[in-house]
Amino acid sequence: MKPIDFGDKPVEKNAPSADEVKYTTCYMCACRCGIKVHLKDGGIRYIEGNRNHPVNKGVLCAKGSAGIMQHYSPARLQKPLLRVGERGSGEFKEIEWDEALATAAGWLGRIRQSDPRKLAFFTGRDQSQALTGWWASQFGTPNYAAHGGFCSVNMAAAGLYTIGGSFWEFGEPDWHNTKYLLMFGVAEDHDSNPIKIGLGHLKTKGTAKFVSVNPIRTGYSAIADEWLGIRPGTDGLFVLALIHELLRAGKIDEAYLARYTNAPWLVIADEGAADHGLFARDAEGRALVVDDTTGAPVDARDPAIVPRLAGAVTLTDGRRAVPAFQLLAAHCLSPRYAPERAAAETGIDAAVIKRIAAESTSCRCCSAASIRPAGSATSRRFRGRSRPG
Ligand code: SF4
């Protein structure tokens, strides 16, 4: 292409829109996309995605761009509000910070003098949970929590256990090697950019199947290879039916469970006792498992042992204990979770539940061993290794 000849005429450029760029992460949702915040005269002019950030690689969603309104929205609270009407009436008046702090200190002071544990301190999703948690512990209450404990952190823990990663700062799924992605009822505002990028990768690659379990077919579900329009609130039952089917078919990766999860941890079985159902621990508080080689309860973290997934044991203090996996299996193998029974409540055909269970294991070399007590073929299979994995 021939270059444009401007001759001697000076080229008019746009005036710089910013005089400074700050690098940070977006927190309009939990994804923590990398962003560049352009500042002019100390104020935010606009926000753009950071191409060098590993989470979003420059992608910025509309909500992320709107982060500017966190600072400049006219609807933003400017001062503390004091309720002046009946609870629920929506009547408030603005007060100064001194008054707000004195009011709060009055309430909290009385609680702290009587018993600080009476304070249950709950915060929403924000970036300051280290500070709010520290404040609660200084106040003297162990009863503090934040939004994440009821939402994203559970998802993150499950993700780390099942797919080896999760989202946000907990890493992410192995999109490159994914062959089957089963997604449950994700809120579309969560993990927007990273999951969009990941799904785009799967769709482009064309070698993975993406199944979405969601009552509605919008957002991510709209591009799923298979959408399961489940009845709202029955996802858990659907999962239990999948586990039932996998257990029944013997498609359980026992080596993985023994190596990477707390499935072999012993649970105290002492009906009526205060510690019934709690994990059995040694005097130092370490969780116990049964070593398949010796049959003795040992520290679960010992890398040299081969933990059992099934078989009750008597602890040194005489209490009976059972591996957690055995309890889970006994629960999930109940006829209540048979696909035929779950179909009526979830609205998903029993044949589909069975097919999804089969598909989800057909793409990897699952062990075909069902649960067997110590001394069985399963145990012998473990015995041949120094460490399952
Ligand atoms: S997905 Fe959007 S809102 Fe969420 S962190 Fe990334 S840019 Fe911000």
Domain annotation for the chain: domains and CATH numbers: 20-71 (2.20.25.90), 172-228 (3.40.228.10), 233-389 (no CATH)
190 CA to centre of ligand 1 in angstroms? 8
Minimum CA distance residue for ligand 1 atom 6: 33
Per-residue pLDDT of the chain (389 residues; tens, 9 = 90+): 566 777 777 777 787 788 899 999 998 887 889 999 999 999 999 999 999 998 888 999 988 999 999 889 999 889 999 999 999 999 999 999 999 999 999 999 999 999 999 999 998 876 677 899 999 999 999 999 887 777 777 777 877 777 777 776 667 778 889 999 998 877 666 667 888 888 999 999 998 999 999 999 988 899 999 999 999 999 999 999 999 999 999 999 999 899 888 999 999 999 999 999 999 999 999 999 999 999 999 999 999 999 999 999 999 989 999 999 999 999 999 999 999 999 999 999 999 999 999 999 886 444 333 333 333 333 333 333 333 32
Report the alpha-carbon distance of residue 158 to residue 343 in Å, rounded.
24
307 CA to centre of ligand 1 in angstroms? 42
Report the alpha-carbon distance of residue 383 to residue 294 in Å, rounded.
11
Closest atom of ligand 1 relative to the 27 alpha carbon: 5
Q: Give the model's pLDDT for residue 387.
A: 32
- Report the residue among 37, 48, 53, 61 best suited for mutation to probe ligand 1: largest number of ligand atoms under 8 A from its CB: 61
DSSP-derived pairing of the beta strands 34-40 and 20-25: antiparallel
pTM: predicted TM-score of the whole model, two decimal places? 0.74
Does ligand 1 have an atom closer than 6 angstroms to the CB of 141?
A: no
Does ligand 1 have an atom closer than 6 angstroms to the CB of 192?
A: yes
How many Cα atoms within 13 Å fall on the side-chain side of residue 42? 0
Q: Which of 330, 348, 165 is nearest to 260 (CA)?
A: 165
Does ligand 1 have an atom closer than 6 angstroms to the CB of 28?
A: yes
Closest atom of ligand 1 relative to the 28 alpha carbon: 3
Does ligand 1 have an atom closer than 6 angstroms to the CB of 55?
A: no
How many Cα atoms within 13 Å fall on the side-chain side of residue 155? 20
